[in-house]
């Protein structure tokens, strides 16, 4: 049975804000107010996705030093390596900077470590190989901020290193500031003292800011930068960077670029995903394109995804897209099996379970994060799923808003080989002899933080409405909120006492719920509830629903439907 969820409906718009926003439709005013936009100027800036701050990349600490060193390398034909991560954010950021530097006629290559042989982030063996191969400058993307030993090694072997990353730096316990690797330049708006106004850029977003700084502000540069925005949209959405501020601006532009892209790999990827690029949205990235690009790095190595995004060969692009699609199907199968076993292991641990933990020698380290996500979604607890090796265990963590998982790992750093991440997601490597103590300590931290809290997932609705107000013309109004996703949720509503005319289950294993609902004026609404199929056998005559409103295209027919997020008996 689905978990009981709290429904949260924000306060009604104030008379002052309602007057200030009177140029907009009534429902949109409430939606804007809920998102913190109470003046017409702020609302228009949001709806038009325009920056309300100075986006000059040179405000970022380290940007000038990085640009100067890269320009020196270009002028002197020095070999440059872009060192990325194996997820979509890292792969798109690598492709973006390689493409940018190729435009500037640099001698540049991409390097993405193998998840299974090298692990996450910088490693000394890779740096040695690059240096032996003649590389003079390494630029990291989406990694490196917690690699002080590797940065020191690069300096020892006389390899210049520029770090660009968006993960939280480690804290210096003596100064209270950021403990940064000793690199030639560190670009990360989260580092202590950085004045760049937007702290939420993904790794690919920071790579794009570096590209902006390198290319300048002429018409030729603008054309190149626009051609890179599809990569920014892919990486930002797939990495669950919040779609607010500059991310939202870049993703909106990136989706526009995707609709007219000349990137051959994107055409092929969209084809195997059965997505029409002319109608692409952020949801298509999150649920279809992103998982296929991620599949390469999860099961084998991410070079296939990198090559797909950079190749100009139509036949090679088609071949690679097929490979990624097959790998994604295999990834889905492995994830299902792993989740089942992780469930069994996690619930063997103890009864309180403020933090779920499962580790096994057979777990695929490329998929542990997905299994952890499923545990968190199902049970609303922070979850860790780990692949146990001969000497070390690699874990992936997912969390809930009430628990900052990276802060918890920071409190256990004396036990860890390495770790890093965000509030909601993190990863770590630990020696096997320390794993029991690590788990015990993390569970204790979670218990102290969570034992007094009502741990139920919350759903936020923008307003309580009558279903009579939900009509097709509302779709156009709500489209101005896009791109929506993590950090910028779809507009959602609560309607009470809807009459259930018909109900049935659909989909594999009857997991989904299909309803026909009738409002007080006899108007009929089609509704779909994903993963709500277990309601079928206890469906009341009337229901309260929390839903979004969307276009439904199926077999060439266009209709409108309520997408049910939750329902309760009236």
Residues 110 and 26 in one domain: no
Mean pLDDT for all residues in the chain: 94
320-355 pLDDT, tens digit each: 999 999 999 999 999 999 999 999 998 875 567 899
Same structural domain, 431 and 542: no
Domain assignment present for residue 159? The answer is yes
* Within a domain: 168: yes
**Cα 454 to Cα 458: distance, rounded to the nearest angstrom:** 10
Q: What is the CATH number of the domain that holds 514?
A: 2.40.50.460
Which portions of the chain are predicted below pLDDT 50?
Answer: 1
The predicted pLDDT at position 351 comes to 60
The SS3 assignment for 97 reads helix
* Sheet with strand 137-141: strands edge to edge: 108-111, 80-83, 137-141, 160-164, 185-187
What are the two backbone dihedrals, phi and then psi, of residue 130, each rounded to the nearest 5 degrees? -65, -40
The span from the CA of 147 to the CA of 26, in Å, is: 51
Look at residue 349 in the predicted model and tell me its pLDDT: 59
Q: Are 539 and 500 a contacting pair, CB within 8 Å?
A: yes
Q: Do 104 and 223 lie in a common domain?
A: yes
Give CA angle at 218 (217, 220), nearest 5°: 120
- Is 241 found in the same domain as 272? no
Cα separations (Å) of 75 from 20, 71, 98, 185, 216? 54, 6, 16, 19, 16
Range of the domain at 488: 6-34+461-569
61 and 108 in one domain? yes
Tell me, yes or no, whether 196 and 269 share the same domain.
no
Q: Write out pLDDT tens, residues 54-64.
A: 999 999 999 99
pLDDT number for residue 350: 59
Instruction: Tell me what pLDDT residue 50 has.
Output: 87
Q: For the segment 197-256, what is each residue's pLDDT rounded down to a tens digit?
A: 999 999 999 999 999 999 998 888 999 999 999 999 999 999 989 999 999 999 999 999
Query: Which of 217, 245, 273 lies at the terminal end of a domain, its last residue?
Result: 245
Question: pLDDT value at position 2?
Answer: 54
Instruction: Out of 420, 450, 480, pick the residue that ends a domain.
Output: 450
Same domain for 224 and 83 = yes
Is the backbone of residue 198 left (phi > 0), alpha (psi -120 to 50) or beta? beta
Q: Is 125 exposed, middle or buried (0-12, 13-18, 19+ CB in 10 A)?
A: exposed
Quote the pLDDT of residue 118. Answer: 86
What was the pLDDT predicted at 1?
43
């Amino acid at each position: 049975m689905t978990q009981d969820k709290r429904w949260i409906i924000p306060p009604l718009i104030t008379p002052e804000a309602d007057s200030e926003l009177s140029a907009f439709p009534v429902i949109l005013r409430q939606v804007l107010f809920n998102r913190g936009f109470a003046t017409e100027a702020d609302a228009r800036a949001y709806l038009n996705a325009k920056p309300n701050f100075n986006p000059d990349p040179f405000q970022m600490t380290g940007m000038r030093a990085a640009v100067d060193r890269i320009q020196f390398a270009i002028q002197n034909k020095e070999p440059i390596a872009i060192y990325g991560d194996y997820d979509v954010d890292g792969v798109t950021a690598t492709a973006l900077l390689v493409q940018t530097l190729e435009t500037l006629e640099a001698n540049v290559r991409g390097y993405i470590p193998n998840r299974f042989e090298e692990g996450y982030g910088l490693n000394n063996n890779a740096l040695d190989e690059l240096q032996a191969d003649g590389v003079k400058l390494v630029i990291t993307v989406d990694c490196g901020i917690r690699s002080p030993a590797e940065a020191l090694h690069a300096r020892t072997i006389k390899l210049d290193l520029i770090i660009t990353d968006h993960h939280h730096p480690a804290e210096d316990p003596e100064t209270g500031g950021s403990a940064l690797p000793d690199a030639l330049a560190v670009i990360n708006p989260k580092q202590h003292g950085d004045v760049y106004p937007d702290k939420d850029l993904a790794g690919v977003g920071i790579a794009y800011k570096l590209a902006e700084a390198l290319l300048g502000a002429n018409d030729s540069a603008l054309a190149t930068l626009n051609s890179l925005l599809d990569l920014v949209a892919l990486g930002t959405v797939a990495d669950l960077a919040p779609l607010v501020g500059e991310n939202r601006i870049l993703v909106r532009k990136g989706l526009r670029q995707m609709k007219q892209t000349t990137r051959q790999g994107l055409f092929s990827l969209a084809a195997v995903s059965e997505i029409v690029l002319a109608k692409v949205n952020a949801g298509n990235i999150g649920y279809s394109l992103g998982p296929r690009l991620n599949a390469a790095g999860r099961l084998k190595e991410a070079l296939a995804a990198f090559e797909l995004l950079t190749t100009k060969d139509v036949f090679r692009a088609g071949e690679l897209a097929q490979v990624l699609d097959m790998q994604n199907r295999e990834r889905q199968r492995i994830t299902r099996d792993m989740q089942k076993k992780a469930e069994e292991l996690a619930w063997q641990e103890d009864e309180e379970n403020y933090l779920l933990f499962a580790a096994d020698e057979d777990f695929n380290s490329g998929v542990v994060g997905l299994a952890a996500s499923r545990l968190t979604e199902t049970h609303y607890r922070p979850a860790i799923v780990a692949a146990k090796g001969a000497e070390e265990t690699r874990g992936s963590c997912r969390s809930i808003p009430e628990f900052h998982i990276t802060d918890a790992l920071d409190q256990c750093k004396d036990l860890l080989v390495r770790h890093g991440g965000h509030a909601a997601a993190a990863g770590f490597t630990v020696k096997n002899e320390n794993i029991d103590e690590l788990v015990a300590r993390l569970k204790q931290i979670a218990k102290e933080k969570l034992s007094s809290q009502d741990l139920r997932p919350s759903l936020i609705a923008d307003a309580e409405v009558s279903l009579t107000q939900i009509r097709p013309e509302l779709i156009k109004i709500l489209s101005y909120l896009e791109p929506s996703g993590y950090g910028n949720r779809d507009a959602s509503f609560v309607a009470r006492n809807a009459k259930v005319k018909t109900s049935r289950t659909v989909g594999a294993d009857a997991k989904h719920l299909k309803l026909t609902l009738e409002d007080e004026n006899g108007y009929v609404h089609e509704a779909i509830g994903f993963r709500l199929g277990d309601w079928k056998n206890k469906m009341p005559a009337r229901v309260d629903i929390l839903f979004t409103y969307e276009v439904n295209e199926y077999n060439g027919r266009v209709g409108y439907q309520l997408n049910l997020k939750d329902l309760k008996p009236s």
